[in-house]
Amino acid sequence: MAAIRRSDTKIELRLRSLLHRRGLRYRKDYPVRIAGRLVRPDIAFTRSKIAVFIDSCFWHLCPEHGQIPSSNRAFWKDKLERNAARDREQTAALESEGWTVLRIWEHIPTEDAVQTIVNAARGLRVSDLD
């Protein structure tokens, strides 16, 4: 598991590139301290408080594609359920501080994901999007 990338995955790089081409400026892997804990959205628009997480179907238990492996099932069930619980806790913590949280599943087409993010930022001046 040490070889699993925490940031700069192919999906993130592609999504960030398209956002940048659309003129959106953001912070990547931006640390946000909330209630004594550190939350790191994959993409953050700090001034408008929009946090974007790109979640893989396996590691975050996608309701459509997430599956618990049949080998060493107890370990994986516990591990993946803890990941999903942490996601819910982080989302709640950010929202309680006024952030808009977008969770994008890896199976969502990149262009659709970009449009979701652009729609969340719509109505704000580009200068408001840090």
Residue 114, helix vs strand vs coil:
helix
What are the structure tokens assigned to 82, written together? 């803890």
Give the chain's count of helices (H) and strands (E).
3, 6
Distances (CA, A) of 98 to 45, 48, 66, 87: 13, 10, 29, 17
Confidence of residue 2 (pLDDT cuts 50, 70, 90): very low
pLDDT for res 5: 55
Regarding beta strands 32-34 and 100-105, do their DSSP bridges make them parallel or antiparallel, or are they unpaired?
unpaired
pLDDT for res 96: 95
pLDDT for res 125: 45
Q: Please state which architecture CATH assigns to domain 10-121.
A: 3-Layer(aba) Sandwich (3.40)
| CA-wise closest residue to 115 among 51, 49, 19 | 19
| Neighbouring-strand partners of residue 50 | 45, 100
Domain ranges for the chain, please list them: 10-121
Q: C-alpha 50: how far from its chain's center?
A: 11
